[in-house]
């Protein structure tokens, strides 16, 4: 009798654990995103386990939907480490990314005139490393999304790391 109770208990516990086989593979986990264009309508995504996908839409959300169609999976943004912006209308963009896309508060915000090309040429890990080294060496200030958004909301501009196409970094004011 005790063995039957133990078996039923184990089955009930395993059935209620909440982990379903394959669920983690139903999504693509975003590591870095480059956003540019009017109304932030162009995106380039770099994923943890997959390559780079570029997409366009009427706005950032429709561009994301297009990228999901191209990739064949939903995009999970909660682990995003790096946002590459083109420097225009950043306050509205970062608010949207933080509140709607739920990017990590530690996600770094950097500037590049062509972030999509950077993500094609360098890995997201390498670009984040360049930005972190620029901060450590005093080339640019801390540029996590919370810090940058706070500066944009209070002062209309913020200084962030600028990533160059040759793999170097500088500092840039964004608005």
User: What is the tens place of the pLDDT at every residue in 45-91?
Assistant: 999 988 999 999 999 999 999 999 999 999 999 999 999 999 988 99
The β-bridge relationship of strands 158-163 and 169-174 is antiparallel
User: What is the tens place of the pLDDT at every residue in 4-14?
Assistant: 444 444 444 44
Are the C-beta atoms of 45 and 33 separated by less than 8 Å? yes
Say what the pTM is: 0.85
CB-count exposure of residue 158 (10 Å: 0-12, 13-18, 19+): buried
Nearest to 161 by CA among 123, 122, 129, 121: 129
Q: Tokens 């360049």 identify what position?
A: 130
User: What is the tens place of the pLDDT at every residue in 75-131?
Assistant: 999 999 999 999 988 999 999 999 999 999 999 999 999 999 999 999 999 999 999
């Amino acid at each position: 009798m005790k063995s039957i109770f133990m078996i039923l208990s184990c089955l009930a516990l395993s059935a209620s654990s909440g982990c379903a086989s394959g669920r983690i593979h139903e999504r693509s986990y975003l590591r870095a995103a480059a956003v540019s264009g009017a109304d932030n309508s162009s995106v380039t995504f770099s994923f943890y386990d997959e390559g780079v996908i570029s997409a366009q839409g009427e706005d950032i959300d429709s561009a994301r939907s297009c990228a999901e169609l191209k990739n064949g999976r939903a995009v999970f943004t909660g682990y995003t480490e790096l946002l590459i912006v083109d420097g225009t209308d950043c306050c509205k963009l970062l608010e949207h990314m933080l509140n709607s896309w739920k990017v990590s508060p530690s996600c770094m915000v950097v500037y590049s005139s062509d972030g999509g090309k950077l993500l094609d040429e360098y890995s997201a890990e390498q670009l984040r490393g360049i930005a972190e080294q620029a901060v450590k060496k005093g080339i640019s200030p801390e540029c996590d999304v919370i810090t940058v958004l706070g500066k944009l909301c209070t002062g209309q501009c913020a200084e962030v790391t600028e990533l160059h196409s040759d793999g170097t970094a500088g500092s840039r004011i964004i608005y």
